[in-house]
Copies of this chain bind each other. A is one copy, B any other.
Amino acid sequence: MTQAPGTRRDIPDATVARLPVYLRALRALTAAGIDVVSSEDLAQAAGVRSTGLRKDLSHLGSYGVRGVGYDVARLSDEIARELGLQHDWAVAIVGMGNLGHALAAYSGFATRGFKVRWLVDEDPEVIGTVIAGLTVIGFDELAMVAGDGLIAVIATPPTAAQDVADQMTRMGVRSILNFAPCVLQVPEGVEVRKVDLATELQILAFHEQRGRDEDDDAARLGVHAARVAEAAR
């Protein structure tokens, strides 16, 4: 590695998006009692090519041992550090409907560096109720307690999402995960990631149809070939 400690490294977005997958695979290896892994095996577990994995890891320094592989614990720590997961991040879920309930009850956040700390809604009927051990609060209350580095999850209807995003950014939130199927306008410096299930299904539908059309083509070509053969004799 030619990287001085403490120096800012610019890691490609594509690599950053894969680091969580590597981290998950590494945790699974730890749980299985494996403490050294080759790039080939780890790549297999993460569903990528080994050469790509090595290039990704090279961006955070050279923590592998040639002829041996990577120390699972060491690499886990390095990736976690790079992702900023030494400490838990506080999460606020906004919109406690069907989806908000499921998210509040989800145990997968706590094991991966996040603590759902606030549940927020607008409906006076919902505010004050207890969900998964947390009392639902309103925006005014959140504005008073929200600290730096809070991550907001928007699970309101799309009609309310922009308004919610505006309020969150006003109180200093710079990271938003949006489940509402709509485009959010946010100020410079605020990062939005979206999860859109219907969009995912529509992409699947496109390929499903394409596969079906290709089958049709194959059938047509088969018929055509048969006709040619018939005409030829």
Residues of A within 8 A of B (CB): 8, 16-17, 19-21, 23-25, 45-47, 82-85, 89, 91, 98-99, 101-103, 105-106, 108-109, 112-114, 148-149, 151, 174-177, 181-183, 189, 191, 193, 195-214, 217
Contact = CB atoms under 8 A, between A and B. Distances in A.
Given A20-B196, A47-B183, A151-B208, 8 more contacts: A19-B202, A21-B199, A25-B183, A102-B102, A106-B197, A151-B205, A175-B204, A191-B207
Contact of A45 (B83, B183, B199, B202): B183
Contacts of A211: 174, 189
B105 A198 contact: no
A16 to B, nearest CB: 5
A177 B195 contact: no
A120 B99 CA distance: 19
Given A102-B101, A105-B98, A106-B98, A193 B204 contact: yes
A109 B195 contact: no
Decide if the interface of chain A is mainly helix, strand, loop or mixed.
helix
A199 B177 CA distance: 11
B98 A24 contact: no
B109 A183 contact: no
A212 to B, nearest CB: 7
A49 B212 CA distance: 32
B207 A20 contact: no
Contacts of A19: 202, 206
B99 A205 contact: no
A149 B214 CA distance: 14
A114 B20 contact: no
Contacts of A46: 183
B84 A206 contact: yes
B83 A197 contact: no
B84 A208 contact: yes
Contacts of A177: 197, 200-201, 204
A197 B109 contact: yes
A67 to B, nearest CB: 27
Given A8-B213, A45-B183, A181-B108, A203 B193 contact: yes
